[in-house]
Amino acid sequence: MNAVILCGGFGKRLAPLTDNLPKPMLTVANRPMLDYCFAQLNHYGITDVTLTLAYLPEKITSHAQGYKSFNVRYSVEEMPLGTAGGVKNASRYLDDIFIVISGDGLNNINLSEMYIKHVKSGADVTMAITMSDTPWLYGVVEHKDGFVRRFYEKPQDMTGKTWINTGVYIINKYVLDYIPDNILYDFSKDLFPFVLAKGTIGVYEHQGYWSDIGDYKSYYKANMDMKKGGFFPFVYNGFFEKDSDLLGGSDISLVSQSASIVGRISGCVVGRDCRIASGAILDRCVVLDGTIVRGRHSQCILSGDYAIDINDSPLNTKFFKKSSLLVSK
């Protein structure tokens, strides 16, 4: 079994952080999100990987050259093809059974267990599902006896905790024959209803960690979750070179070894080549690479151009344009 990592999205909901950077290259706890995807695949012995690319592909390919133990291929889309269309475009690289994961999310799904369940069930596709209390943001999955019965794509009137689609799939390659060539085609909206009409989609119930990192609050939370090493049993077992240290007592901060801390920080993530200036006081902030910070900030994402206050609701997140308190190198 080999893998496809979806890396073609524009990450519009995380703009301006993604204005000049593809979403899989945004750092979580000072590592690009793509690193976590490769670490997870490495843990399960999956070393043949294809990346689907569209937005700023050169920034991803340049970084991916560092994955020395992998056979990495690239499938670049001349026009956006969607999740399923992008995988169809990469079909020449794929095994008879392959896994699809998102390059802009984090999870600790047990891929070995999921693969075994897929093979034993005889399903055409197996979908990892998890419980969520915000079903209107995702594809809701109604299932019975281990198989999908019905989808509800982002139901705006649904509340309460329910099973949702994580975007992690194991797929039999022949399913790609259902996807037209060179058109925009989505897994949930287009392909899966077609598969359900012809065959079966199995489910793998995931009880652990999952985040799609779709907005500022989920991005901020992922950084806080991963600050101390996070959920993975495999992230810091030699796959990554150590480049950040944990500092402090009860309110531990994760600080890049290339950062300079003169001011005070508490419970923060501080990226590469950052400087926390004299007199600065930071509480539970995420400071992105190459940022000089002055002044007081609490529960913010700080970059060279923006301070994003995540305390407001997701629809009313405050932006504070670059000022004398926040200066880029």
- The 10s digit of each residue's pLDDT in 299-310 is 999 998 889 998
Strand order in the sheet with 281-283: 264-266, 281-283, 296-298
pLDDT confidence of residue 327: 45
> What does the radius of gyration of the chain's CA atoms come to, in whole angstroms?
20
User: Which residues on neighbouring strands pair with residue 205, listed in sequence order?
Assistant: 129
**Is 232's pLDDT higher than 70?**
no
Among the listed residues 16, 186, 39, 180, the one whose alpha carbon sits nearest the alpha carbon of residue 103: 39
Q: Is 120 a catalytic residue?
A: no
- Give the integer Cα–Cα distance in Å for 124 and 184: 22
Dihedral sign computed on CA atoms, order 11, 14, 256, 251 = negative
From the candidates 59, 154, 217, 221, give the one annotated as an active-site residue. 154
Q: ∠ CA 184-186-190 to the nearest 5 degrees?
A: 105
pLDDT band at 238 (very low <50, low <70, confident <90, very high): low
**Is 237's pLDDT higher than 60?**
no
Angle between the N-to-C axes of helices 33-43 and 57-64, in degrees from 0 to 180, rounded to the nearest 10: 40
**Is 233's pLDDT higher than 70?**
no
- Give the integer Cα–Cα distance in Å for 128 and 97: 15
Q: What is the model's pTM? A: 0.91
- Give the integer Cα–Cα distance in Å for 300 and 267: 12
Backbone φ/ψ region at 267: left (φ over 0), alpha (ψ -120 to 50), beta: left
**Going along 133-252, which residue ranges are E strands?**
139-144, 147-153, 162-172, 201-205, 210-211, 244-247
Q: Are 220 and 301 in contact (CB under 8 A)?
A: yes
